[in-house]
Chain A
């Protein structure tokens, strides 16, 4: 079974809300059925087929090709399966996510993983402002740069970074540590094609927060040197 693939038809003049293009909502539907499905769950909504060319059958693995920064809400509320984005994406990637994996090979805009509860988001490129905002739990990894207010109001969860970002006052430095669970986490990344695969060093700088929301979340700055 080949992955269900969405390719945007042309550069849109406005943002496209992709919240219905998840393994949960598209389960057991054929490409033809999906084309005729409303893009939004409202009356007179445009069809998904108006915006995307669709191929493939495996609704448990969805691929977005030739993407751009106007595709918002990819992976919204998904609870299982995988979404691979072969390029950039818009705001609210993986918002309210409940499980599964999102792999983004480009950059993501603001509010990555907003209110996510479970699951994994790995981004090869950059993420915009408010990454991991209001995060309840789960794991987000950003390999390149991040914007302002990362982890804003996060309650629990882990944000993996390779560069120290500008942090707001209620994210606190807990020092450098060797964390045993990272061995398991890094091993699980081997299932994906991502630069995170190269991470071997369990020694990380740990920031905890957001203290305004219990402070049980963490931002870990990983060392990209291979030696442990």
Chain B
């Protein structure tokens, strides 16, 4: 498949089942809502080393938030419910409780409820008070800037993590520019986050390693400097590869964001230096969800 002179590989991205949640963070203004959200979603690029993958989903206007202040919504994903609960509590305590003027609210409905401020309330040392408003329980915790307000719980849902595509370009600046263009377009898609720095990852991995203790290592088939050494996936003209990883609430959300991102790159055309779009998988045996690039992009062109 070729779109606007850019080749789309006949391959698929392999994704995994995850647990996800959404938290709405509000503050006095967007600046402080972002301070809180950026802290909360910091060091959350990959479940391998961070426990969770998290990111800011989008900015919220005052009429979209429970307390009528400006805010942002944050999505957080983990491989299991236990890790998600533990990470959410830790990050609430260290990043939201601590951030001036910030408040936190449930951002997703579900029968599975996990603690948002339920245990954090004990920081109030007996001076915490709860309010039950319209069937939802909130906690008011006295802090030095006034009062920290948080909902007791938020919903936890089944989600999918690890949707991805690879951008193969003639130079590093070309690959980066294409990746940035894709991320700008993908940020407008709801229910997904791209958890890596700036949404882009340059160190794609393969399963296993020559070192027995390592269970993942550099994806040598896509490393341009190893073209002559290994069974490379790269042709002579490819000098840089970058990957965009997507976590989302549903299969369709991830498929939509992949389509929007790839289309944005293809719209740049041949002059962008992008030659090919591919995807990362493990042969299809590890993850139950397969995002086939040709299927995804044929919806876009129809």
Instruction: List A residues at the B interface (Cβ < 8 Å).
Output: 118, 137, 139, 156, 158, 177-181, 183-185, 187-188, 216, 218
Contact = CB atoms under 8 A, between A and B. Distances in A.
Contact of A181 (B69, B126, B140): B140
A157 B146 CA distance: 18
Nearest to A184: B133
8 contacts: A158-B131, A179-B147, A180-B67, A180-B69, A181-B133, A181-B149, A185-B131, A216-B127
Residue of A178, A187, A218 with most partner-chain B CB within 10 A = A187
B129 A180 contact: no
Interface in B127-177: 127, 129-134, 138, 140, 146-147, 149
Residue of A180, A184, A188 with most partner-chain B CB within 10 A = A180
A180 B117 CA distance: 15
Interface of B: 66-69, 103, 126-127, 129-134, 138, 140, 146-147, 149
B133 A180 contact: no
Contacts of B149: 180-181, 184
B66 A184 contact: yes
Given A183-B68, A184-B67, A216-B127, A177 B133 contact: no
B134 A180 contact: no
B66 A177 contact: no
Contacts of B66: 184
Contacts of B126: 216
A28 B138 CA distance: 32
Q: Is the interface of A mostly helix, strand, loop or mixed?
A: mixed
Given A183-B68, A184-B138, 10 more contacts: A118-B132, A179-B140, A179-B146, A180-B147, A180-B149, A181-B140, A184-B67, A184-B131, A216-B127, A216-B129
Which 4 residue pairs across A and B have the least CB separation, nearest first? A183-B67, A180-B149, A184-B133, A188-B133
B103 A180 contact: yes
Contacts of B68: 183, 187
Contacts of A181: 131, 133, 138, 140, 147, 149
B26 to A, nearest CB: 9
A177 B68 CA distance: 18
Contacts of A218: 129
Contacts of A156: 129
B244 to A, nearest CB: 37
Contacts of B132: 118
A149 B296 CA distance: 70
Contacts of B147: 177, 179-181
Nearest to A215: B127
A213 B115 CA distance: 29
A139 B103 CA distance: 22
A181 B147 CA distance: 9
Given A184-B138, A187-B68, A178 B146 contact: yes
Nearest to B68: A183
A158 B130 CA distance: 10
Nearest to A118: B132
A183 B27 CA distance: 13
Contacts of A185: 131, 133
